[in-house]
Amino acid sequence: LTRHDLGREKLVERIWEWKAQYEKRILSQLKQLGASCDWQRLRFTLDDQCARAVRETFFKLFADNKVYRGKRLVNWDTFLQTAVSDDEVFHEATKGHFWHFNYPVIGVSGEGPKPGEPTHVTIATTRPETMLGDTAVAVHPDPAKAFDKVSAELREKIIAASSKEKGELEEQATLLLARRAKMLPQLEKLRDMALRQVQLQLPLTGRTIPLICDEWAKPELGSGCVKITPAHDENDYQVWQRSLARKGVAIGAINIMNTDGTLNENVPEKYRGLSMKKAREAVIADMEVAELLVETEDREIELAHSDRSKTPIEPYLADQWFVKMDELAESAMDAVSDGRVKIVPERYKKTYLDWLSEKRDWPVGRQLWWGHRVPVWTKRFEGLSQRDSIIAESTRIDDAIGYGDDTCFTMSHDPDGTDGVAYLCFRVAQPEGEAEAESLGYIQDDEVLDTWFSSALWPHSTLGWPEQTPELAHFYPTSTLITSRDIITLWVARMVLAGLYNMNEIPFHEVFIHPKILDGYGETMSKSKGNGVDPLDVIEKFGADSLRFGIAYLCTETQDVRLPVEFECPHCHALIPQTKKNRTLPRIECDKCKQPFGTQWALSYGTAEDQALPRGAAVSERFELGRNFCNKLWNASRFALMNLEDYKAATAGRADVKTATDGGVFVAEKELLLEDRWLLSRLATVTGEVTEALDQYRFADAARALYGFAWDEFCSFYVEMVKARFAVAEQKAVAQRVLAHALDTLLRLLHPMTPFLSEEVWQLLAEVAPCRGLTSPARPAESVCIAEWPKVDTIWIDKSIEAQFAKFQTVMGAVRNIRMEKNIPPREPVQFSVKCDAETVKLLKPMEPYFLSMAGATATAWGPKVTPPERSASKPLEGMEVHVDISAFFDAGAERTRLEKERDQLAKFVDSLNAKLSNENFVSRAPANVVEEQRAKLAEVRGQLQSVEAALGKLE
RNA sequence: GGGCGGCUAGCUCAGUUGGUUAGAGCGCUACGUUCACACCGUAGAGGUCACAAGUUCGAGUCUUGUGUCGCCCACCA
């Protein structure tokens, strides 16, 4: 349905119906979540406020002389915005024809062509119907020069071209030369005719049009002459503009199209009311009858197409409201240049500044029927007397309303006389004033304002402007605007300039431009394409925190994100990939269970049967990451809570304690085990990383840091280790305190990304451990969302502790690795020994219980003099050797294979290091520390290689 | 046509100021359900970092060019 089918009132009614449907859905979902919302009140408040602010702004601009009436070409989507039926619009995308027409020459003041001059000018067009709006035919002002220029360009191309393309290009050059020889005299003759202002007969219309000179005519194409239709073609429009700027012949512009896509009263009667497509047929037929159709040529043509209807766009000339941008744009540029508004990432500053620097006036009118209507009433006048009476009337209207500040009256005159238009603008809706104006013959403008006009006011209009509300005073300017890059110019720039204009103050301090989510094919998700995911479906399937965390995880600085979409079969829960084909279908059959289900389209254009089908959700597997993570967190939290039942807070003020950053106290330092100090160090480091990442809008970095820490360090190591300590009475209390504290901090850090989960655990944690904290045990906030953001406890950050712990992890990894490679059954106990220095022994010996619980391995010996058992699998590590006794599983062949593989790898590494170090350039030019590092590495790896070779030798 | 960005494992993406043998999740392979978690655990396989030239002792990282995909703007950045 188009607006013409319905009429304005019905259309608006329909839109409200659609809105109401959406609201109902949202409301019911809010209810399910237990939320309440006075939606009606909110909606009307916002709508009223918005309308008021729009009118106020427009009035200010109008009174400030920043609004004017101008002309521009509007790209008209004939299919979507007009009443013509589907078969009356052009659908061909690239196939088309060139029609060659002859326009008779009637010379200067009708005396006909001079002897030797052509009697006809031939033009070619892909859109014959537009000839009814022609206002000139153009020929190049200097065809010889134009030919030379094209030839020169072609020659440059030939030089740069590959040999394959060369032949073709050279052929083109030859043709061009031949054409030049043949056509130049004729074109120069036409140019001379244009200079003496020769007129042509425009067939079918009875009008005469001038032959003019303009660079748009291309001597190398067609006949070298081009018809000019300024009201329906962008390039012709430019020709018109140039002709106005030049002295001499100024051509006109005739719009031949109604807004419903039919021809208007500016064409001869027989064509009026025809659609453009029908008019084309008629024009061609009539030209043929008049014997002015020279030939028809098949051609591939490029036309601008509407993104939505896929039909070609019909440009047409329209009178429009413009807002002058010079001062406004300047103010918005300054705000960013001098840093009052900071754009993140910074490269988008360029987009913003470049666009504004053009200071192109903003056409604010739109030929739609929904939106804020332009609050201007107009009345045409002819002659001075009418003009004077209109001025008198305007005073009367003012009087009728009673306050003159709220109306603004201006007039514009036609360029050529005393006729013109009077404009009345009302500041606020004034039924009496408007009625008075209408009774005097004023008509309200039919256009509505660009949607970005009201959007530009968003930061202050939503806070009640133009009233000076407390909200406005408190919240304006806001802190950060978060948006997508494709509306930096449309929205961000305009919000800044509107804010500065209305409020005299920027609307926000920072603008964060986030990446954009695309579908699996790299296309922008959109409702009309049907390739989106419904966040509500994602929440239904994966959970709200999973969605939120998943999005944060994807929010990297540079990249757009591809999100392959799948339908979830409501019957068997299989996932069916969304394809370009199935994404617009109202019903789909499941690949797996072969049962049909409905999609989001079932409601809009499915049959009743489709609508009755259960709906398949549109989701993406990429949110599994978030779901798994949340699940992991939940289970780890459950474990912690279970084991904190007899938790006792630490007592403050003990003498033998480590003093923390803020002077508070915890447990004795000597009570803390290596793993505690490792965890606290990591926790402090990660807190710093997350805080910094969030401060800089690096959401993915924050999410990744938390994911890695929570899963690989907190769960996989600390929680695993703490299990063993809970079994030992005297170790339990300290472990509990550290665990409670770590979980507490982790929840605070996670809260921005997993608010529901962290809040739930926070509440449960408060039950078992109401008083917690490292430095000064205290009762935390009653909700995590108001809990203080964790500070970085730098006192715990200890790189040497982390390095020591890494040693433990490496040995653990080596033992596990050997177990797997030797196919030792998981529950089979093994024994191992480690050759290492005395310091490492001190470090690792206390960890023996963990080797048992986490790798099923018992240590038999530690120290520098350890020798491998008779039948063992060995692994060289940095400064250590791990030997696992595998007498029960010994397989000499397999062990040899493993060692040989290891040897080859190490040998390769040694070679590459050797090569580097024997390169004199490297040794002399690289920084000393880098060279030293490489040397140390080489020594280390050589040692490892030797031990592998020794183990191999022993096997023999 | 101009501007911006992407191209790294089968897929989706990280990769700081150039410096060890380039990482993660999913998927894949093998093994494992007994004490938080199979939405799990342990281990493993998998990469000519789009291509070409250059700078450098050394390039995924810097420079230039080419290809390709995407977005924005298009008489003008």
CA of A717 to C1' of B61 (A): 33
Q: What is the side-by-side order of every strand in the sheet holding A478-484?
A: A342-344, A508-514, A478-484
Query: In the 901-930 stretch of chain A, whose C-beta falls under 7 Å of nucleic acid strand B?
Result: 905-906, 909, 912-913, 916, 919, 921-922, 925-927, 930
DSSP class per residue in A525-541? P-TTTT----HHHHHHH
**Least confident segment among A220-229, A307-316, A625-634:** A307-316
- Measure the CA–CA gap between A707 and A629, rounded to whole angstroms: 7
The answer to whether A655 and A579 have CB atoms below 8 angstroms apart is no
* Stretch among A262-266, A359-363, A399-403, A711-715 having the lowest mean pLDDT: A399-403
* Residue A305 Cβ under 7 A from any strand B atom: no
Nearest to A834 by CA among A870, A871, A869: A869
Calculate the angstrom distance between C1' of B69 and CA of A529.
Answer: 19
**Cα A304-A310-A311 angle, rounded to 5 deg:** 65
Residue A359 token pair: 């200071």
**Residues A475-512 pLDDT 10s:** 999 999 988 887 888 889 999 999 999 999 999 999 99
Residue A525 tokens read as: 């998700």
Which nucleotides of strand B come closer than 7 angstroms to any CB of the protein?
Answer: 3-7, 11-15, 19-21, 25-26, 30-34, 36-37, 39-44, 56-58, 69-77
Cβ contact A486 with chain B strand, < 7 A: yes
CB atoms within 10 A of CB A39: 13
Is residue A5's pLDDT more than 70? Answer: no
Q: Which residues of A87-111 are buried (b: 16+ CB within 10 A; e: fewer)?
A: ebbbeeeeebbebbbbbbbbbeeee
Residue nearest to nucleotide B25 (CA to C1'): A625
| Model confidence at A670: pLDDT above 70 | no
CA-CA distance, A879 to A876, in Å (whole number)? Answer: 8
Residues linked to residue A566 through DSSP beta bridges, in sequence order: A577, A619
Closest residue (CA) to C1' of nucleotide B73 is A355
Report the pLDDT averaged over residues A908-921. 83
Q: How far apart are CA A89 and CA A301, in angstroms?
A: 16
Residue A377 bridge partners (DSSP)? A424, A444
The pLDDT, as a whole number, for residue A689 is 92
Which protein residue lies nearest to nucleotide B7, measured between its Cα and the C1' atom?
Answer: A559
Residue at minimum CA to C1' distance from nucleotide B71:
A486
Identity at A940, one-letter amino acid code = E
Phi, psi of A174, rounded to the nearest 5 degrees: -60, -45
Residue A118 CB neighbour total at 10 angstroms: 14
Q: In this predicted complex, what is the ipTM? A: 0.93
CA of A825 to C1' of B35 (A): 19
Q: How far is the CA of A793 from the C1' of B13 (A)?
A: 32
**Tell me, in Å, how far CA of A723 is from C1' of B27?**
32
The strand B neighbours among A residues 213-272, by Cβ under 7 Å, are 234, 238, 241
Determine which of A390-404, A539-553, A758-772, A925-939 has the lowest per-residue pLDDT on average: A390-404
* Mean of all residue pLDDT scores within chain A: 82
> Within 13 Å, how many C-alpha atoms sit on residue A401's CB side?
25
Rounded CA Rg of chain A: 40
Q: Tens digits of per-residue pLDDT, A70-84? A: 887 776 665 545 444
The span from the CA of A354 to the CA of A333, in Å, is: 9
Distance A900 CA to B25 C1' (A): 32
Chain A 664-703 residues whose Cβ is under 7 Å from strand B? 700-701
Tokens describing residue A505:
């103050």
Peptide bond preceding A459: is omega within 30 degrees of 0, i.e. cis? no
> Is A890:A836 a contact under the CB 8 Å cutoff?
no
Single-letter amino acid, residue A711:
W
Indicate whether A665 pLDDT > 50.
no
Query: What is the spatial distance between Cα A497 and Cα A334, in angstroms, rounded to a whole number?
Result: 10
pLDDT at residue A659, rounded to an integer: 45
What pTM did the predictor assign?
Answer: 0.80
Total length of chain A: 956
Cβ(A853)–Cβ(A723) under 8 Å?
Answer: yes
